[in-house]
């Protein structure tokens, strides 16, 4: 019997994402956080008093748009392949 070579290579540990992916992930998180911060507030201390500020442009249009843009950036960051070579 001959001895078998035990040159089995151990798999190298690599991160799934690169620096560019993480950069876009953090940018997306910042957009989402900013959107939720802009949505906050507008309430009244007295429940008998109506505050029309809850229907402002900032809370109805701007903040949800920022959250959706942030989610889009998150999807892009996950699908981004920084190792892809351009032809």
Domain boundaries, the chain: 19-79
**Separation CA 2–CA 49 (nearest Å):** 90
69 close to 13: Cβ distance less than 8 angstroms: no
CB 66 within 8 Å of CB 31: yes
Looking at per-residue confidence, does 12 or 71 come out higher? 71
**Average pLDDT for residues 69-77, to the nearest whole number?**
97
Quote the pLDDT of residue 5.
61
Using DSSP's 3-state secondary structure scheme, residue 41 falls into: coil
Indicate whether this model's pTM tops 0.85.
no
């Amino acid at each position: 019997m001959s001895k078998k070579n035990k040159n089995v290579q151990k798999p190298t540990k690599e991160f799934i994402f690169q620096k560019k992916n993480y950069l876009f992930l953090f940018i997306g998180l910042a957009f989402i956080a900013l959107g939720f911060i802009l949505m906050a507030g507008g309430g009244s201390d007295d429940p008998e008093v109506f505050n029309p500020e809850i229907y402002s442009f900032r809370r109805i249009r701007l903040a949800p748009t920022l959250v959706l843009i942030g989610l889009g950036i998150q999807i892009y960051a996950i699908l981004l392949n920084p190792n892809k070579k351009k032809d």
